[in-house]
Amino acid sequence: MSITYHLDQCRIRTGRIVSPTGYEPQEVSLVMHTQDPSHLRQQHMQRGLLSKRRRQWMELTQEHHKDWKMSSYFVSDDSELCGFLSESIAMGHEKDVIQIESMLRHEAVMILVLDGNHLHGPVILQDPHRHFDFSPANNRKFLYFAQPNEKQKRTKCGKERQFVIGIYDFETQKTAVITDESVCTRQINVVLWTPDSKGIIFHSDGDLYWHRFGELYVNKIFAKMQMPIGMSFSPDDKKLAVFLPYRPTISFSVVLFMWPFVRAAVTFQHEVISLGEYRIWSVPERPWANGSKSIIFNANHQTELVNLSLCTDTLKVSRFNFPRPALILDVQNDEILFETVSANSFSRLWISDIASTQTSGPEETYQARLVTSQRPERDEIYNFEVKTIHFDGGYSGILYMCPESFMPGQKLPLVVVPHAGWDHNMTIVSVEPLLCTMVNAGMCVLVVNYRKPIPSGADLQYMKRQNTGQQAKDVHKAVKQVLREHPRLDEDYVVLFGQQYGAFVCGTIIQDEPDFYACVAFLNPIIELLVKNGQISVFPRPFEIPLFCLMRDRNTYGVEHCDLLVGAEADYVEEYEADDPEYHDIIVRLIRFLTDPESAVLKGRPPTPAATTAMRADMAEEEVPEEEEDSQ
């Protein structure tokens, strides 16, 4: 029951202050999603008022959009307009329809019907070419990417266009289609209008470019740049800020360009800003404050998440003083919208002026609870402690502890979780429903970060180059320290749980410490890391502790690797499809295994498809010698 409750809790994907500065009450628009896996995630939108006087959230509207609407939703920088695909050919409709609405009046102001194949093909809803964006208000347009029609697929030079760009002009009420060969034959990861609405800034092939529509060539403004987390022009149109994700070979996190650019320039004036040991975590869609003199964003180091302000004149970085860990969602002039949340707390929404968060106490801010994020009957799912722990060697972890009132005087099992690697680190604001459910089931959970973060989106070759041996030793050392410092934990019942890259670290720990841990469970392991020369290489021989493996269907991983894992090592294997309605039940069985690996309920389950395939292979091998004897 607990896993469903945790998955249903909403996190804010984007937030936007809609009403002008100084209005009371202030209207806020939120796009939220549940914490289900991406293929099951539900999204919805809320509009409401935040009142400083009444200190509560007054809901105006709540909409549950279809996925294609939410994936195409975009808002103008001045919060006057929003747009989305109300109908989509890619989702089975007869035509593409882009609807533009007034944010303040909550009504449609324009509907663009893209019927047939005259202008271009279907509007693109899949990454990397899912792009929708409004231009600045002084020359209002919006762009979207679409598939080329038959006439547009090939350029005059015989190259294949990956997309075309549709541009709707509000003044002329006409749609132009950009087919520039220098742009449309590339893969574009991030795109942004220039302030004059005559061109775009975009990232492609590891470089940052500037292009004016209609010109033959593009201008490379920064070489060897990873895909930005975000880009934004200042409201005064004088600066362009580019925010970069963590990469171990790059020492800076922000690139600040001076606008306007000079055409055909050899170099483009810019500054690079390093944040020291911190790395960009997330960036609001509108990060500018203090009259275009500051940019605001969220940064991370190990378990810590901080909120920073960069003065663009002096390049000095300062921190905000929030009463609890927070994520800044939106900036409007000198007001900020931010969310506070942790694994043992429901989401709260706050709004404040920048001066009070930097110099005053938290009593001068005001807050509102998100109505959909907490219900009275679910309070018990947050009843546990979250502690940050720092270890010698420059790495850290987070410990989820059951409350003191739970089983007083008894020892509690500990689940050890090497970081999976899908974010830089596990932070104090990270919420992982599966781990929270383990705590609700009576287990304490220790998540351990690595000395050097794994970049988001790291490929298999990068992971293979990791010093997994050192990471495994660090995790085990952290476990022993936590057991010494927390006598409530049962040193005789410590189990391992690894997701994705973390499964590889778990396997290495078992190889080093085969008698320390009671059992191990994998969720979606990167099997290629476990296999070497056709064998599972990271496990000791013989492999004596129970292993539970939960993974996507074998077509995702490769039949040979799955059969190897199942036939050689795993005691229990569960496979699930991307839209498996029994996913929650499988998670419950995984948690039951960690609690009691010898559970009779697990032993009585019929073989999964993976186990059946392995048994058939064993039977076939046994039958071969008998056939040879008969032939002789």
Do 554 and 610 contact (CB within 8 A), yes or no? Answer: yes
Strands 141-146 and 164-169: antiparallel
Residues 268-283, mean pLDDT to the nearest whole number: 94
Residue 562: the pLDDT is 53
Contacts of 566 (CB under 8 A, 6+ apart): 549, 573, 610, 611, 613, 614
Cα 299 to Cα 19, 256, 423: the distances in Å are 28, 17, 12
Do 281 and 306 contact (CB within 8 A), yes or no? Answer: no
- Give the rounded percent of residues in the chain with a pLDDT score beyond 70: 80
Do 208 and 238 contact (CB within 8 A), yes or no? Answer: no
- pLDDT band at residue 632 under the 50/70/90 scheme: very low
CATH code for the structural domain at 383-619:
3.40.50.1820
Residue 355: the pLDDT is 76
List, edge to edge, every strand of the sheet that includes 345-353: 326-332, 335-342, 345-353, 366-369
**Helix, strand or coil for residue 286?**
coil
Whether the pLDDT of residue 471 is over 80: the answer is yes
Cα 623 to Cα 270, 567, 627: the distances in Å are 71, 17, 7
What is the C-alpha separation between 630 and 89, in angstroms, rounded?
62
Higher pLDDT, 520 or 6: 520
163-186 per-position pLDDT tens digit? 999 999 999 999 999 999 999 999
Higher pLDDT, 137 or 196: 196
Residue 603: the pLDDT is 53
Using alpha carbons, select from 455, 463, 432 the residue that is nearest to residue 445: 432
103-118 per-position pLDDT tens digit? 888 899 999 999 777 8
509: left (phi over 0), alpha (psi -120 to 50) or beta: alpha
337-369 per-position pLDDT tens digit? 998 888 888 778 888 888 776 654 545 454 444
Structure tokens at 278: 């911190």
Mean pLDDT of the chain: 83
Residue 418: the pLDDT is 96
- pLDDT band at residue 216 under the 50/70/90 scheme: confident
Whether the pLDDT of residue 76 is over 70: the answer is yes
What is the C-alpha separation between 282 and 270, in angstroms, rounded?
22
Do 141 and 170 contact (CB within 8 A), yes or no? Answer: yes
What is the C-alpha separation between 99 and 83, in angstroms, rounded?
6
Residue 34: the pLDDT is 77
Give the residues across from 175 on adjacent strands.
168
Whether the pLDDT of residue 608 is over 90: the answer is no
DSSP symbols for 35-94: SS-TTT--EEEEEEEEETTTTEEEEEEEE---HHHHHH-EE-TTSSEEEEEEE-GGGT-S
550-583 per-position pLDDT tens digit? 876 554 444 455 555 554 456 666 666 655 666 6
Residue 382 DSSP code: G
Whether the pLDDT of residue 524 is over 70: the answer is yes
Do 626 and 632 contact (CB within 8 A), yes or no? Answer: no
Using alpha carbons, select from 211, 184, 187, 207 the residue that is nearest to residue 198: 211
Residues 61-73, mean pLDDT to the nearest whole number: 76
Do 11 and 35 contact (CB within 8 A), yes or no? Answer: yes
Residue 630: the pLDDT is 42
Rounded (to 5) percent helix, strand, coil in the chain: 25, 35, 40
Residue 372: the pLDDT is 44
- pLDDT band at residue 618 under the 50/70/90 scheme: very low
Residues 318-326: contacts with CB within 8 Å, 24+ apart?
318/358, 320/357, 320/358, 321/357, 321/358, 322/357, 322/362, 323/362, 323/365, 325/427, 325/428, 325/429, 326/350, 326/429
Residue 160 DSSP code: B
Task: Compute how many other C-beta atoms are within 10 angstroms of the C-beta atom of residue 188.
Answer: 20
Residues 542-546: contacts with CB within 8 Å, 24+ apart?
543/510, 543/569, 544/514, 545/510, 545/514, 545/517, 545/518, 545/519, 545/520, 545/597, 546/519, 546/520, 546/571, 546/572, 546/593, 546/597, 546/598
What is the C-alpha separation between 455 and 457, in angstroms, rounded?
6
Do 291 and 302 contact (CB within 8 A), yes or no? Answer: no
Residue 153: the pLDDT is 94
Task: Determine the length of the chain.
Answer: 632
Strands 279-282 and 385-391: unpaired
- pLDDT band at residue 534 under the 50/70/90 scheme: low
Residue ranges of E strands in 533-608: 535-536, 547-552, 572-576
Contacts of 499 (CB under 8 A, 6+ apart): 417, 420, 522, 523, 524, 525
Residue 100: the pLDDT is 96
Residues 515-523, mean pLDDT to the nearest whole number: 91
Residue 454 DSSP code: P
Residue 607: the pLDDT is 41
What is the C-alpha separation between 386 and 400, in angstroms, rounded?
5
Using alpha carbons, select from 326, 319, 376, 372 the residue that is nearest to residue 351: 326
Using alpha carbons, select from 522, 519, 516 the residue that is nearest to residue 499: 522
Residue 458: the pLDDT is 75
